[in-house]
Amino acid sequence: MPSRRQLIQQSLALGGAALVSAAAKTTASGGDGKPVAKRAFHEMQQRLQQPRIIASSGGVLDTHIRVVRASNQVGGQPLPAARTFDYGLTGATLKVKPGDQLRIKLSNDLDASTTLATASCSHHEMAACQDNINLHTHGMHVSPSGNEDNVLIDIPPGESFQYQIHIPKDHYAGIAWYHPHRHGTVSKQVMEGMSGALIVEGGLDEVAEIRAARDQILVMQQLVIPSDNFGNILPITLNGQLQPKIDAMPGELLRWRFVHATTIDYIEVALLDSDDNKIPLHVIAEDGMALGRIDRKDSHFMSPGNRAEILVKAHKPGHYRLVKLAQEKGLRDFPDAGQTLAHVYISGSQQDMSLPAEKDLVEHAPFASITDQELTGRQPDLEFRGTQGAVYIDGKSFAPGRIDRTMHLGDVEEWTLRSATGSHPFHIHVNPFQVVKINGVPVEKPLWRDVVLVKAEWQHGVTIRTRYQRFTGVTVLHCHNLVHEDKGMMQLIEILPARNNSDA
- Rounded distance between C-alpha atoms, residue 435 and residue 165, angstroms: 27
- pLDDT tier at 30 (50, 70, 90 boundaries)? very low
- Look at residue 252 and tell me if it is in a domain: yes
Helix (H, G, I), strand (E, B) or coil at 105: strand
If asked whether residues 215 and 237 sit together in one domain, one would say: yes
Please say whether the beta carbons of 421 and 390 come within 8 A. no
Which H or E run contains 9?
A: helix 4-11
29-33, 206-210, 294-298, 393-397: range with lowest mean pLDDT: 29-33
CATH code, domain carrying 176: 2.60.40.420
pLDDT (0 to 100) of residue 191:
96
Query: How does residue 363 score in pLDDT terms, banded at 50, 70 and 90?
Result: very high
204 in the same domain as 59: yes
CA distance 429 to 265: 21
Question: Is 462 in the same domain as 320?
Answer: no
Is the domain of 148 the same as that of 214?
no
pTM of the model: 0.90
25, part of any domain: no
End-of-domain residue from the set 185, 208, 231: 208
Strand 254-260 to strand 214-221: parallel, antiparallel, or no bridges (unpaired)? parallel
Q: What is the mean pLDDT of residues 338-357?
A: 96
Are 403 and 491 in the same domain? yes
Please check whether residues 357 and 376 belong to one and the same domain: no
Band (pLDDT 50/70/90 cuts) for residue 126 is low
Task: Please tell me whether residues 495 and 409 are part of one structural domain.
Answer: yes
Q: Give the contacts of 181 (CB within 8 A, at least 6 positions apart).
A: 134, 135, 136, 151
Looking at the fold, whether 217 and 200 belong to one and the same domain comes out as: no
Confidence of residue 348 (pLDDT cuts 50, 70, 90): very high
Residue 15, pLDDT > 70, answer no
- pLDDT of 231 reads 81
pLDDT of residue 35: 39
Domain boundary among 193, 208, 223: 208
Q: Is there a contact between 263 and 191 (Cβ–Cβ < 8 Å)?
A: yes
Residue 216: inside a domain: yes
Q: What is the mean pLDDT of residues 86-102?
A: 98
Q: Are 331 and 302 in contact (CB under 8 A)?
A: no
In a shared domain, residues 201 and 84: yes
What is the distance between the alpha carbons of residues 108 and 158, in angstroms, rounded to a whole number? 6
Contact (Cβ atoms closer than 8 angstroms) between residue 228 and residue 19: no
Domain hosting 221: range is 210-363
DSSP 279-318: EPEEEEEETTEEEEEEEEES-EEE-TT-EEEEEE---S-E
Same domain, 195 and 74: yes
Rounded Cα distance between 250 and 315, Å, is: 5
Query: Could you count the other beta carbons within 10 Å of the beta carbon of residue 342?
Result: 24
Question: How sure is the predictor about 132, in pLDDT bands with cuts at 50, 70 and 90?
Answer: very high
Closest Cα to residue 131, out of 145, 141, 150, 117?
117
Q: Are residues 221 and 352 located together in one domain of the fold? A: yes
Q: In this structure, are 475 and 333 located in the same domain?
A: no
**In sequence order, what are the beta bridge partners of 199?**
95, 175
pLDDT in tens, 208-223: 999 999 999 999 999 9
User: Is the residue at 15 inside a domain?
Assistant: no
CB 111 within 8 A of CB 68: no
Residue 150 has pLDDT above 90, yes or no: yes
